[in-house]
Structure 1
Amino acid sequence: MDAEAWNERYRASELVWSAGPNQFVETELSGLPPGRALDLACGEGRNAIWLARQGWQVTAVDFAQAGLDKGRMLAEALDVAWVRADATTWRGDASYDVCLVAYLQLAAAERGAAVSNAYDSVRTGGTFLWVSHDLSNISEGVGGPTDPAVLMTAEDVLTDLGGRAFEVQQAGRVARLVADGHREDSADTAWDCLVRLVRRD
């Protein structure tokens, strides 16, 4: 989907995504001392807002202005800078303590650009966190994209980083329970790709 398609989607409902943070973002980043954080492809800003509430100074980047506008409204007086830019072309300044990318589903070449841009924005010793729908979800899980071209594995994300130096803290697929929307007592499993790295160079 291009930026205008996402603008239309964001305008069509109050919130496309939940107001709270992604469960893996919350779990993986809760223990870190607040500093500067980048949420690349932030959508409506749910993860950026959660980080700001934990005391982080956040830059939230997305190419859909409607999503940024919603995030800005929800963030109120929190310390979030909202930036309209494409994750495949935006460049950071290697000064962020954390960069997260959550559910940015792109074909290989575009994904590689976004992964590189995100990682290169992190300072040495900083944390890179990537969460997305895993390739295995299309056959083994529920929900998410049905086009395998925009799905990936943790190994794909690591390969996108080429010869960069990093410490792998986690890289693999993780299970996420998803309510089926029909019965409150039922849930199904979605499979996500999770990569958490510390930059070493």
Structure 2
Amino acid sequence: MSHRHEHEHEQTEQPFAPHTREFWDHRYGESQRVWSGNPNQRLVEQVAGLTPGTALDVGCGEGADAVWLASQGWTTTGVDVSVVALERTAAHAAEAGVQVATAPYDVLAGEPLPGGPYDLVTSHFLHLPAELRHAAYAHMADAVAPGGRLLIVGHHPADHESGVRRPHGEGLMFTAEEVVGCFATDDWETEVAAEPRRVQQTPDGPLEVTDTVVRLRRR
């Protein structure tokens, strides 16, 4: 579950291993920094115009998104399965001179998210097997305050079909329609359901990719 920025999780064909504490603690332990340290482009686009309140970053990784939210005036909590990731989030927040609370959270355990309710719950590039996705989204939804927002961003299946990304495993990518379909329209207003393209810089050169971006507001 860890962090990204054009630093998304490039997962293997094993659908569950990339969500375990052991996997991510080992991944982070191999280098001093795994991701770019910059906030995700889609987060900045979708949140910049919102009034700051309380925010929860699910799968915060090394903390780039959480630190950016805190710098924008949000009272921010970051959760992740990896203890090493949480230590880095806390360190990066201290370096930036902002406060970010952290807590361990295993999305596969099926437990409610800690704290809340929050004015914003955000999850970027957390790619779960389809059979687990609905339950994970339900926990995210439960953590959103009335009038608050849930922002879910991920890789679009078109990237898998075109071969522009390494395999993530069958069914791990999702469309905006699939995300919106997990939420009752009586309870949620869809503010954004988009599948924009962007250019991602890679060691092999620029790569055009498609994101899935869904922003919902709790009624």
Structure 2 length-normalised TM: 0.83
**What residue is the counterpart of 1:51 in the other structure?**
69
Contact 1:133 1:151 in 2 (8 A): yes
**What residue is the counterpart of 2:208 in the other structure?**
189
Write the letter of the residue equivalent to 1:10.
Y
**What residue is the counterpart of 1:60 in the other structure?**
78
Highest RCO, 1 vs 2 (Cα 8 Å, sep ≥ 6): 2
Residue 93 to residue 60, structure 1, CA distance change in 2 (3 Å): closer
Calculate the aligned-residue CA RMSD, in Å: 1.8
Q: CA deviation at 1:24?
A: 0.3
How many correspondences in the alignment? 197
Contact 1:92 1:118 in 2 (8 A): no
**What residue is the counterpart of 1:156 in the other structure?**
178
**What residue is the counterpart of 1:18 in the other structure?**
36
Measure, in 1, the Cα distance between the counterparts of 2:65 and 2:104: 16
In structure 1, runs of 5+ residues without a counterpart are none
Measure, in 2, the Cα distance between the counterparts of 1:89 and 1:137: 31
Residue 158 to residue 144, structure 1, CA distance change in 2 (3 Å): farther
**What residue is the counterpart of 1:72 in the other structure?**
90
Residue 171 to residue 48, structure 1, CA distance change in 2 (3 Å): same
**What residue is the counterpart of 1:29 in the other structure?**
47
Q: Secondary structure at the match of 2:123?
A: strand
Q: CA deviation at 1:92?
A: 4.7
Contact 2:61 2:80 in 1 (8 A): yes
Measure, in 2, the Cα distance between the counterparts of 1:90 and 1:144: 31
- Superposed CA deviations along residues 77-97 of structure 1, whole A, max 9, x for unmatched, are 422110001134233555211
Measure, in 2, the Cα distance between the counterparts of 1:100 and 1:157: 13
Structure 1 length-normalised TM: 0.90
Identity over aligned residues, as a percent?
35
- Match status 1:121 vs 2:143: yes
In structure 2, runs of 5+ residues without a counterpart are 1-17
